[in-house]
C-alpha cells in the first residue's frame, strides 16, 4: 500500500498559518471587548460625576487612572508595567497628544485599557459651550480615529475643575465625569511619597489619580510596581472605570429585583 508523505516544511507552514489565524481571532476579540468596555456606560452614571464607587458588598476593587498622555517614553513604560502585573487601567488622554502619538493611543486600548477624554489642550479657564465642544468633541474624534472606533464616554476635567464649562458640557452629552478619591500627587512627589499617598488613601471602590504625561513621570514609573504589589497583598482587585461602574450597576439591578 502506498503512503503519502507530508513534507515537514509544508506541515510547518500549515501550523504557522493556523497559529496566525488563531492569533488574529484572539486579537480581534480583544479589540471588540475593549471597544465595548469604552463605549458602554450604565445609564445611572450617564451625565453624572463620580469620584469613588464603593460596592455594597465591600468587595475590594480599585481603579488606577492615568492622565495627560499619551507620551512616548512614559506611557510605554507604564503600559509595560501594567501588562507585566496583569492590571487593566483607565487612561484620560489629551487630544493633541492623541493626534501626535496615535499609535501609542492605539496600544493603550489593544492592551485592554479603557480610554477617557481629558480635553484637547488641558485648559483651566472658563469656557463657553462652543469652546467646551471644541475641546471635548475634537478629542473624542481623535480617540475614535486613532483606535479604529473606540467611542469613549468618560471625561475628566483638567485640574479637577468642575465649574469652568467643560464638565457641564460633557455631562450634557451623557458622558460620565470621573474625578478621583485618591490623589497620588505624582505631579511633584518622589516615588516613596507617591506610594505612601496611594496606600494611605486606598479604600474599596476608590479611583486613583496618576499620570503618564505632562511632565517627568519617572517617579510614577518607579512607584507603580510597588503600588500594585502592596494593594494586591491587601486583597485589592484592579478594574477599569467602566468595569467599576458596571459592577455597581449590576449590584443596583440585583438589589431592585431587576
The pLDDT score that the predictor gives to residue 14 is 54
Residue 168 lies in a domain: yes
* Secondary structure of residue 124 in the 3-state scheme: coil
Report yes or no on 18 lying in a domain. Answer: no
Are 221 and 81 spatial neighbours (Cβ–Cβ below 8 Å)?
yes
Give the pLDDT score at 249.
96
Task: Tally the domains of the chain.
Answer: 1
Residue 71 has pLDDT above 50, yes or no: yes
Placement of cell 493556523 in the chain: 18
Report whether pLDDT(37) > 60.
Answer: no
Q: Is residue 49 part of a domain?
A: yes
Whether 17 is in a domain gets the answer no
111 a catalytic residue? no
Within a domain: residue 75? yes
pLDDT at 201: 98
Percent of the chain with pLDDT over 90: 81
Rounded Cα–Cα distance for residues 210 and 17 (Å)? 42
Catalytic residue of the set 113, 118, 127, 211: 211
Percent of the chain with pLDDT over 70: 84
- The DSSP bridge pattern shows strands 182-183 and 237-238 to be unpaired
Q: Parallel, antiparallel, or unpaired for β 182-183 and 114-117?
A: unpaired
Tell me whether residue 239 is in a domain.
yes
β-partners of residue 166 are: none
Q: Count Cβ atoms below 10 Å from residue 233 Cβ, excluding itself.
A: 8
| Cα separation, 13 vs 77, whole angstroms | 35
| Residue keyed to cell 505612601 | 196
Is 13 within the bounds of a domain? Answer: no
Q: Is 67 a catalytic residue?
A: yes
Identify the domain containing residue 74 by its residue range.
Answer: 29-255
Select which of 67, 68, 212, 246 is catalytic: 67
- The residues, ordered by sequence, that sit 6+ positions from 246 with a Cβ below 8 Å of its Cβ are 40, 42
Instruction: Report whether pLDDT(6) > 90.
Output: no
Mean pLDDT of the chain: 90
Residues 6+ apart with CB under 8 A from 91: 65, 66, 67, 69, 70, 75, 108, 113, 114, 115, 116, 212
β-pair type (61-69, 154-155): unpaired
What's the whole-number mean pLDDT along residues 52-81? 97
**What are residue 115's phi and psi, to 5 degrees?**
-120, 140
Lowest mean pLDDT among 169-173, 200-204, 240-244, 248-252: 248-252
List pLDDT tens digits, range 167-214: 999 999 999 999 999 999 999 999 999 999 999 999 999 999 999 999
| Statement: residue 27 has pLDDT above 90 | no
Give the CATH number, domain containing residue 228: 3.20.20.370
What is the pLDDT averaged over residues 12-34? 51
pTM for this predicted structure:
0.86
- Helix (H) / strand (E) element for 210: namely strand 206-211
Please determine, for residue 220, whether its predicted confidence score (pLDDT) is greater than 90.
Answer: yes
Task: Specify the pLDDT at position 2.
Answer: 47
Is the per-residue pLDDT at 93 higher than 70?
Answer: yes
Amino acid at each position: 500500500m502506498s503512503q503519502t508523505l507530508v513534507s515537514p516544511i509544508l506541515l510547518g507552514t500549515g501550523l504557522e498559518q493556523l497559529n496566525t489565524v488563531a492569533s488574529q481571532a484572539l486579537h480581534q476579540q480583544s479589540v471588540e471587548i475593549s471597544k465595548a468596555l469604552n463605549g458602554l456606560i450604565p445609564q445611572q452614571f450617564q451625565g453624572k460625576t463620580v469620584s469613588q464607587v464603593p460596592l455594597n458588598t465591600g468587595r475590594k476593587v480599585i481603579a488606577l487612572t492615568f492622565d495627560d498622555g499619551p507620551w512616548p517614553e512614559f506611557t510605554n513604560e507604564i503600559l509595560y508595567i501594567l501588562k507585566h502585573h496583569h492590571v487593566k487601567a483607565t487612561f484620560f488622554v489629551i487630544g493633541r497628544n492623541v493626534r501626535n502619538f496615535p499609535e501609542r493611543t492605539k496600544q493603550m486600548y489593544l492592551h485592554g485599557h479603557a480610554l477617557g477624554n481629558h480635553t484637547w489642550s488641558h485648559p483651566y479657564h472658563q469656557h463657553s459651550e462652543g469652546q467646551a465642544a471644541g475641546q471635548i468633541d475634537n478629542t473624542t474624534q481623535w480617540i475614535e480615529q486613532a483606535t479604529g472606533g473606540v467611542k469613549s464616554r468618560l471625561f475628566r476635567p483638567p485640574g479637577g475643575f468642575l465649574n469652568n464649562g467643560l464638565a457641564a458640557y460633557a455631562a450634557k452629552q451623557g458622558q460620565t465625569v470621573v474625578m478621583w478619591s485618591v490623589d497620588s500627587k505624582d505631579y511633584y512627589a518622589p516615588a516613596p511619597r507617591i506610594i505612601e499617598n496611594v496606600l494611605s488613601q486606598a479604600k474599596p471602590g476608590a479611583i486613583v489619580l496618576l499620570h503618564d504625561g505632562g511632565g517627568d513621570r519617572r517617579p510614577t514609573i518607579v512607584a507603580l510596581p510597588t503600588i500594585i504589589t502592596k494593594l494586591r497583598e491587601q486583597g485589592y482587585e484592579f478594574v477599569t472605570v467602566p468595569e467599576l461602574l458596571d459592577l455597581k450597576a449590576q449590584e443596583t439591578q440585583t438589589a431592585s429585583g431587576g
